[in-house]
Amino acid sequence: MHLVAESSDKLDVQAMLQRFRERADAVKDRPLPPVAGAERQQFIEQAELDYMDYAIVADATWTFDDGILTLQVDLRPKDS
């Protein structure tokens, strides 16, 4: 963790969150491999989890205070 603390002046949180958005989009658009049955279902379930993980981080707001990066994720349902 010292590496992050020492290079915090070079940390671009917005760029990091953008990379997570791009990863979420890439997972969403990932083609299915030529597998069938249980392997296919396992691949689909993992892709859904990967997308959710990346999308959650991508939607985070952040603060950086005294060398501590805090990502805050609002998991409350959005009003329709």
Mean pLDDT of 14-33: 92
Cα–Cα distance for residue pair 6/32, rounded to 1 Å: 41
Cα–Cα distance for residue pair 11/28, rounded to 1 Å: 27
Query: What pLDDT shows up at residue 3?
Result: 46
Q: Quick check: 64 pLDDT over 50? A: yes
Domain boundaries in the chain? 2-72
Per residue in 4-20, pLDDT (tens digit) is: 445 556 889 999 999 99
Question: In the 3-class helix/strand/coil scheme, how is the chain assigned residue by residue?
Answer: CHHHHHCHHHCCHHHHHHHHHHHHHHHHCCCCCCCCHHHHHHHHHHHHHHHHHHHHHHCCEEEEECCEEEEECCCCCCCC
Query: What pLDDT shows up at residue 53?
Result: 94
